[in-house]
Amino acid sequence: MMASQGSSSSTKPSSAPSSSSSASASSPTSSPTNKPTRKEIYTYTAPWDIFGLAWSNQRTPSSSSSSSSSSSSSNPNSSSSKDQKEDEDSSSSDRIRSSSFQSSEGKSDSEDNPNNTNSQDSFNGEFKIAIGSFMEEYTNKVRVVKREPNNHSTDGGFFEVTEFDHPYPVTKLLWSPQGEVSNNRELIATTGDYLRIWGVTDLEGGSANANPSNSGGENSTAAKPHHTSVCKMEHLLNNNKNSEYCAPLTSFDWNETDPSIIGTSSIDTTCTIWDINTCQAKTQLIAHDKEVYDIAFAKGTNIFASVGADGSVRLFDLRCLEHSTIIYESKNLMPLLRLAWNKQDPNYLATILSEGKETVILDIRVPSLPVAVLEGHNASVNAIAWAPHSSCHICTASDDSNALIWDLQHMPKPIDDPILAYDAKKEINNLQWSSSHPEWISIVMGNALQILRV
């Protein structure tokens, strides 16, 4: 799926086969068995441009074993020593490197290791992903699609399970970190004009084995509706009920430790912490001097950070909201658009600048100065995502059409080159690294969703 970076000192990443290389395409091989390795790249084509993107956190039989083993190996509360943790990070690096992508020698690690448990034949589960439209009109869409289990055809076996209207484009959407909150029912949260909570219920007898349709090209699908789920809005959360005006919400984050808590950010300089069980705001605070563009919780319940148009990263503690800590300010106070917190090692977070080509890695123990700056892109970086199963890997995506994976385990030494690259041939608008399927990354560009195996 992605091309491994060689030992060259050049900062320009090498490109892997593009999306035109179908999921059944074989990579070059020099192994004695001459066994082809399939690149797993599945593409779904929507009838509108996509921006919102979220993987379901519902555990399928195949993902639960993978997720439990990865989470136990990276649990900082386990009895593992520091040396064991370093070994585990190295092991995570090996897993990321040993998939179906092409190595610098022109072959994949799986060709050298026929017993590799990360081979494509080991995955038999299903994907469930929500996507949000980006249309310049009031009525937009959120659609949930699934990928059929055991389907390794070039079309990926996608089919649509439900769709609902959404006022304005979603600025972000997420599934509940709980997975199923009740029998066959999950929750989706969206932001735009307000924070909304939606219930998605699988119909009795609904099956992921529905017949997908392939009306797209060789490597794409445009699934016909085959609704196996129903969705309805359960809550609309508004903390400004005394005015007809609502300040648009730029982003939000769902607390993974306490799923009753959601934090939202707004252009009115505030962040609001919600209790979705009571549908009441726990607190609302003026977080920045200008618009707030993103918010993210650290591992645990109480710590969160935000970024905004004033060019600062600010740290907050729900137990003491009278004070905040500015841990970083960008050069010339350029606006900061997104941030992502490393959930395996909460000392680290990443942020990107407006129109910036670099990704800034921060260590909250050493404020003000970045611990690393990743400079492998040739155009604006639009999205960042930490590996859910590793403390030292992060993926960045850009208008230069590249998705890059970086290995940060040698910080604070300079990180000159990414270890993997994928050329999508179009500007990448968003990405997410699946926590329920940690060997998969999804990206969106234009009206296409791609699922890539790493």
| Cβ atoms of 352 and 334 closer than 8 Å | no
Structure tokens at 137: 């009109």
pLDDT at 181: 74
> If DSSP codes are grouped into helix, strand and coil, which group holds residue 110?
helix
| Cβ atoms of 27 and 100 closer than 8 Å | yes
pLDDT at 2: 59
Fill in the DSSP letter of residue 89: H
Q: What is the mean pLDDT of each run of 10 residues along the chain (454 residues)?
A: 45 35 34 50 93 87 45 42 47 44 38 35 67 96 87 72 95 92 88 96 59 37 64 91 82 96 96 95 94 96 96 95 92 96 95 96 95 96 96 97 96 94 95 93 96 90
pLDDT at 154: 56
| Cβ atoms of 177 and 259 closer than 8 Å | yes
Dihedrals phi, psi of 71, to nearest 5 degrees: -70, -35
Structure tokens at 446: 């234009």
| Cβ atoms of 304 and 265 closer than 8 Å | no
pLDDT at 35: 43
pLDDT at 11: 34
Dihedrals phi, psi of 219, to nearest 5 degrees: -120, 25
Fill in the DSSP letter of residue 332: G
Amino acid at 164: F
pLDDT at 327: 96
pLDDT at 231: 92
> If DSSP codes are grouped into helix, strand and coil, which group holds residue 337?
strand
Q: How far apart are CA 295 and CA 174, in angstroms?
A: 13
DSSP states of 241-289: TT-S--PPEEEEEE-SSSTTEEEEEETTSEEEEEETTTTEEEEEEE--S
> Beta strands 50-55 and 127-133: pairing type?
antiparallel
Q: What is the dihedral of CA 256, 261, 266, 270, to 10 degrees?
A: -120
| Cβ atoms of 385 and 429 closer than 8 Å | no
Q: How far apart are CA 3 and CA 16, in angstroms?
A: 4
pLDDT, tens digit (0-9, with 9 covering 90-100), for 355-402: 999 999 999 999 999 999 999 999 999 999 999 999 999 999 999 999
